[in-house]
Amino acid sequence: MKLRRPLHSFAASLVVALLLSVSALAAQVETGLSVKSQLGVVAAAHPLAAQAGAEILAKGGNAVDAAIAVSYALAVVEPYASSLGGEGYMVISLADGTDVAIDFRSRAPLHVNVHTPGEIGTHQYGIYTTMVPGLVKGTELALKKYGTMTLAEVLEPAIRLAEEGFAVHETYASVAGDAYSTLIQYPYAASIWLDNGLIPEVGTIIRNPDMARALRLIAEHGSDVFYKGEIAEAIERATNGWIDRASLAAYQAYERPVVRGTYRGYEVIGAPPIVSGLRVQETLNILEHFDLKSYGSVTAPEVVHIVSEALKLSGADWNAYSWDPNYYRIPVEALLSKQYAAERAKLIDLNRAQAFEAGDPFTYSAEVGWMLYDTNESASTTHFSVLDKDGNAVAVTQTISSFWGSRIAVEPYGFLMSDHFKQFPKFDPADPFRPDYAAPLKSTKTNLSPTIIKKDGKVRLIAGSPGGVRIPATTVQFIVSMIDFEMTLEEAVLAPKFYPDNDLSLDLEGGFPEETIAALKALGHKVTTRPPLQRVFGALNVVWVDEDGNMWGHGSVRRQGGAAAPLAIEEPAAVY
């Protein structure tokens, strides 16, 4: 294995990435870790993806147009977390009052049934972990209905990045190093994203002309070329028929009603089941019964304890009642009920940590739900936030499940397939009716939580994060930091995060005072600590609108993100 030079600082890596960006962008946008503008703003997990979205805004596109540009640009520059072979969820809130969610989750192929996971055996990577991807169909649906530009126009920045290349930064090098032993086993993937079979050093230029070819085909022919045409044929070949053309042709993306709630006078708009907007809102409903601000700080032990207990309560309900809405009826109304949250809040004991079971929301709704979900820790997935000058907002969380997904790259089109299928459990005859068994075109459960927050009808916050099971916790903590404690955007992003589990474990990111840690242990939390600014706690890419109408974007500190704006009204904040 090639030894890499010492990693550059975050600031140096960002400068390298920006210096090697396409010069055409520089004339139209300003980019930094944080930017302020009145003409729209984009925050994403890679500065070049944020630039791509801001370029579209500068050309007159709306937030949806810009979001599609970011989505595809991330597939180029953040291939370990985004791909044409991946999926996601989009929440759109338009200035005309339209609020809608776009479900482009990946789905199981048509030929599977409840017994399939047991028949194929356990696979961590490879063909049998792949699913029918949704990104191309979902982004096309959003663009056609809510965008203003053509697919060719919004794909142009991603095509340029794929052809001309981008510089590897610290996060890319680190994530490639972590996956090296498996990536090297897949020659086509290794030929694109490694450096002659070695871990790329920071500053290495990665080009992907094969993906540029795929993007040009999609720009010209739309999603049909991906789901029914030559790219579909290539996917079938790459997966030895596991993802067959019939399954690809049967794929649909869906418009779904948003999850809608309130928190301390703000309107909260999130993504519906099977993802975690429902859990975020239930947690906020529970937290409304506690005066968090009275404890003085977001790192106070009382705040960490109360938020942790609320997250465990909502997590127990989410595990029990939130499933693929194409297969199950979900008690959304009941779980969003303020009355139900009041009953759940009464279970929190300020003097001790507890484990919680799912509640009984059925007194608040006649709808039915199911149980059981197996969670795994992960730093994968990506999130981005977009706001345009007219107040149209888009929050998107997209993923290929694990970093680098299945490792199966589709030749000769230069993109990875996700590895979501491994989340389906083996069939147990003693428990024949589990809702998480495999079925044709069924989605697995996930924690994606893209969120838009409004006040008096105007967008104030756009939030979301990667991080596997930790996504709802990180999203809730950010919202609490901004609304309850009135922190600045930078302070809320940098504030140390935590993750509670129902076994009473509480994982703390570095930065909590020693007295907080001691107090939490005294309450019965099984505390573990990590260094500051860990990727596993998520990577917030967020937007905030201040009282004067200035739009602020902030990229993820934990994953070298960036923000960009068309012709920003002042210089970006200093990179730290």
Q: Is 353 exposed, middle or buried (0-12, 13-18, 19+ CB in 10 A)?
A: buried
What is the distance of C-alpha 478 from the center of its chain?
15
CA distance 83 to 103: 16
Cis peptide upstream of residue 157 (ω within 30 degrees of 0): no
Amino acid at 471: I
> Which residues, in sequence order, are bridge partners of residue 256?
101
Cis peptide upstream of residue 432 (ω within 30 degrees of 0): no
Structure tokens at 386: 């977009």
Q: Which of 400, 407, 437, 439 has its CA nearest to residue 133?
A: 400
Task: Map residue 273 onto helix, strand or coil.
Answer: coil
| Beta strand residue intervals within 313-399, DSSP E | 382-388, 393-399
Q: Is 48 exposed, middle or buried (0-12, 13-18, 19+ CB in 10 A)?
A: buried
CA distance 561 to 160: 20
DSSP character string of 114-128: TTHHHHH---SSSGG
Q: 475: Cβ–Cβ under 8 A, 6 or more apart, which residues?
A: 280, 449, 451, 463, 464, 465, 538
CA contacts within 13 A on the Cβ side of 13: 24
Q: Is 299 a catalytic residue?
A: no
Element (H, E) at 140: helix 135-146
CA distance 398 to 383: 6
What is the distance of C-alpha 387 from the center of its chain?
17
CA distance 328 to 331: 10
Structure tokens at 38: 């009145």
Contact of 169 with 575, CB cutoff 8 Å: no
Contact of 354 with 507, CB cutoff 8 Å: no
Q: Which of 139, 239, 299, 381 is catalytic?
A: 381
For the annotated catalytic residues, the residue numbers are: 381
